[in-house]
Each structure stands twice: as structure tokens, then as C-alpha cells.
Amino acid sequence: MFSRSTRLMSPGSIVLFATLLPLAAGCSRFEKASEASAKREVRKSKAQEAEVHQQQGNAFVKDGKLDEAIEQYTLAIDIDPQHSQAYLARGKAFVAKGFPDLGVDDFTSSLRIMPGVHDAVLSRAEALLTLKRPNEAIDDARLAVRLNPQSATSYDVLGTSYIESRGHYYDLAIAAFQEATRLDPQLTAKANTQIAQAFFDSAVHFDRQGESAEAQRAFAEAEQRDPKFTLAHEQYLQARTALRTSSAQRYEVGYRGGIRPAAQPNAKTTELVEQANLMFDAKDYDGAIERYTEALRLDSRLGDAWFGRGKAFLAQGFPDTAVDDLNVAINFTSQPGGVLLERGKAYAALGKQYIAVQDFTDAIRRTPAFTEAYFERGKAHLASRSYDRALADFNETVRRDPERSAVVTSLIADVYRGRAQDKLIAEDFAGALADVNESIRLQPQDASSYGLRGIVYSRQGKWSTAMANYRRAIQLDPDRERFRLRDQIEIAEQNLAASAQAR
């Protein structure tokens, strides 16, 4: 149906109008095509500019200038937020600088833009291993192997992830290390030790499950591949024999059998233990372990030797082996408080905070004035996010030993900061702000607290105050916070700009 103005047209006008319609539509399409072409040119120009910064960043990496490289990669990302390679390169630079957590963030961003890139997946798996997150690393390493079945490094990372997960993936770890060696013979020496460790761990697992034949086979494989595991096997057998002869019963938290007095040490064993103690104090942990082991060959009921060797293994970074020795030590001492403390530390190092808390609590029950046990239990509570209990233990530590105040204060600040994060998640903004203010009072130079306070203010819509806190965080720790807070800062800037326009 025509409008009134159309009906008043002459027949010739109608013909002319009909002729012009397709021409106008063609012009409109031409204008849209031109606009799209211009946009493509702008995108192409931005991509080229970003690539220049990417290459400059790569050059800085070759020269070992990581800070300058990160700056260039960041410029590339700012210009072209879809530049996946810039995220990948910056993630690697972060890992090289010792910030694997920021590396994981960038690898994830790279994969979000360009999924299925082997280099990004493998790099994220390696960073997750550094962060002691092996179960997540397993998923990425498996994907890396599927993406590039010829990558020896992918199999190596997969095997390491299986071992560190402590999930009894021993056969899978061995198969992965063997494939890594096949693909790259240069990995043979490293892989032999890794495979030996996997066989040894599986042997201990089989032995504890009562599968003696499988255990002996695995022990033999470990010793054949790396002679160092002969001594490890001997140490394990000593511990097992001592536990069985002391009629100890094994519970979830270790061996808690009846206490049996040790035999009177002779002059030789006393001398060996004293030598080992001196080596331990001098941080010669390998030498100390050898001396303690020699003493235990002469008398397997020396509680001090089991205790000392357990501490040495813990100091050397082998908390699982330390637990085995300390489980024996606790049966050969009439004052187990110190052993419980060290075993609690070992369980905490293994991430078993709930067991560690039991040992620290048991140590306090036996010796109520055990300040060190309050301190360690506070750390275990903090690690398990039991913030109120952690705060109570840290306050008790300072009350009993005021000289610890400087060390404990930083941990108390961590407690308030962690509790503030939980309150923020629960949208208790007032409570979160009170806790983060307390953490800043205790640690006024901690950048992460200012960043967290900025986030609390942003959730309340107080954008100017949020920005002030973000800037303070970046001023205190530019290497980390400017990248960690980049999304929050962008949101704050957008809202500030919108508020300015509204006015």
C-alpha cells in the first residue's frame, strides 16, 4: 500500500523513483563494503604494529632482558588483544622471571584465542608443575602428547606429572619416560633416574599392600637403573623391620604403636650420631644421612638416628621419606614431642594439612608450652584456610615468644588477607574491607593487599578509590601487580569514563 505522498506522484515520477531505488541500495552496499574494508585495513595495521613489538620482545629475550621483553609483549597485546603469540611469549618470560602463576594466566589467554597450540599447552603444563599442581599438569601434558606425539619433552613432562601427583600412576610414568628416551636419547641419563624413582615408589606401594613378589621385582628394577636406590632400599627395609619388631600399628596418620625403649647406644653409634648431628647443623644433609644410616646398621633401634635422618630428609626436600623415618623414631623415644613436630612439618610439606594439625595438636597436648608447635599449627591452619584457628595459634605464639613477633606479623597479615578474600566471595564487603585494612596495617608494603582492597571498592562501585589502590599496588610491585590487575583496571577506567560522560 502506497503512502499519500506516493499516490500524488505522476506515472513518470514513479518510474524514475523505481529506477533510483536499486542504485541507492547499491551505493549503500558499496559504502558498507568500503567501511568493512577500512576496518580490515585498520586491523591489519594494528596486527602489523603488534608484530613489531612482538619481534622486539623476542630480541630482548635472546639478550636476557626479560623486563624489557615483557614490556614489548604487553604493548603488542594492548594494540592487538587477539595476539595469541604475544600472550605465549610473555607467559614464558614470566616463568623465566619466577612468576609461573602469571605464566599460567598468559598461556590460558593464548589458548583461549588459539586453542590446541602445542607450545602453549606444554608451557602451561610445565608452569603448573612448578606451582606444585601436578594433577592439572597431567591433563595438559596428555593433551601435549596428543597434539605432538613426536615431542620427547611432552612425554618427559607427562611422566614427571604422574610421579609428582602421588596417585600411584607408576606404570604410566615409566611408559612416558621410556617414550621420551626413545624420541630423544639425550634424555637417557635423566630418564633412568626418573624411571628408577617410579619403580622404587611402586615397590614401596606394593610392599605396603602385601604384594611382596611385585615389590621385590620393582625394587630390583630401581636398583638396576640407578645404584643410588640400593641404599634407599636398605633404608626402607630397616624402617619396615624396626616397625614390625616394635609391634607398631599403622593408622592413617602414621605408625602410632606402643613406645619401646631403645637399646643403650654404644660408643661407636654415639660417635656416628654426633658426627651426623654436626653435619646436619652445617647443612651437609647428604653426609648426615650417610652417618645416621651407618649408625642404624649397627643398631636399628636408635631413636635419635631415625629422628635425625628424618629431619635431614625433610631438609633435603623428601618429606615422604622423612615421614617413614619419623614414624619409626616415634616408637623409640619416651619424649615424642619433637618427633611429632617434625612429622607434622613433613605432612604439611606433602599438602596433608589435616594430618599435620593432628601431630602439632598431639605435640601441644604432651608439652603445652611448645611454642614452635603453636607456630607450625598456625601455618597448617592458614594453608587449609582455617583463618580463625590460624589467628588464634599465631597470637598464642607471640604471647609465648614476643621475639617472634616480626615473623608472625607477616603471617597474621596473610590470615587477614585470606579471610578478606573469602568474605569478598561471600559479598560481605564491609567484613572484607575491615580484614584487608588490618592486613595493610600489619604489612603496609604488601602490594597484593592494596590490589585486593581495590577489588573490594570496585565491587561497591567506588571506582576512584579502587583506582587509587590499584595504582598503589603497582607502585609497590610493578612486575606482578600491573599484569595481575590489568582486567580490574580496565573495568575501573571504563566506569570512570562513563561517569565523566554522564556528568
Residues 222, 128 within the same domain: yes
Give me the pLDDT at residue 254, please. Answer: 32
- 245: Cα within 13 Å, side-chain hemisphere: 12
Residue 247: inside a domain: no
Residues 171, 83 within the same domain: no
Residues 438, 497 within the same domain: yes
Give me the pLDDT at residue 128, please. Answer: 94
Are 242 and 319 in contact by the 8 Å Cβ rule? The answer is: no
Boundary residue ending a domain (191, 209, 226): 226
Residues 221, 122 within the same domain: yes
Boundary residue ending a domain (90, 107, 128): 90
The CA-to-CA distance between both ends of the chain, in Å, stands at 47
What does residue 395 show for φ and ψ, rounded to 5 degrees?
Answer: -65, -40
Residue 171: inside a domain: yes
Q: Chunk the chain into consecutive blocks of 10 residues (it has 503) and report each block's average pLDDT, rounded to whole numbers.
A: 41 51 54 55 71 91 90 90 91 92 92 93 95 90 94 93 81 91 88 86 82 88 85 76 50 31 68 93 92 88 90 90 88 85 93 90 90 95 93 94 92 95 93 96 94 94 94 92 87 88 76
CATH number at residue 120: 1.25.40.10
Give me the pLDDT at residue 26, please. Answer: 55
C-alpha cell at 335: 619424649
CATH number at residue 75: 1.25.40
Give me the pLDDT at residue 145, please. Answer: 94
Boundary residue ending a domain (165, 194, 226): 226
Give me the pLDDT at residue 480, please. Answer: 87
Identify the domain containing residue 463 by its residue range: 429-503
Residue 313: inside a domain: no
Give me the residues paired with residue 254 across strands: 251
Give me the pLDDT at residue 5, please. Answer: 40
CB contact burial 276-298 (16+ within 10 A = b; e otherwise): bbebbeeeebebbbbbbbbbbee
Give me the pLDDT at residue 4, please. Answer: 37
Residues 455, 502 within the same domain: yes
What one-letter code names the amino acid at 477?
D
Q: Is 25 exposed, middle or buried (0-12, 13-18, 19+ CB in 10 A)?
A: exposed
> Which helix (H) or strand (E) segment is 465 a member of?
helix 463-476
pTM listed for this prediction: 0.69
Give me the pLDDT at residue 215, please. Answer: 86
Give me the pLDDT at residue 247, please. Answer: 40
- Residue-by-residue DSSP string for 18-41: HHHHHHHHHHHHHHHHHHHHHHHH
Cα–Cα distance measured from residue 45 to residue 54, given in angstroms and rounded to the nearest whole number: 14
Helices (H), 133-227: 134-147, 152-164, 170-183, 188-208, 212-225
Residues 69, 130 within the same domain: no
Cα–Cα distance measured from residue 462 to residue 468, given in angstroms and rounded to the nearest whole number: 10
Residues 66, 124 within the same domain: no
Residues 72, 122 within the same domain: no
Total domain count for the chain?
Answer: 3
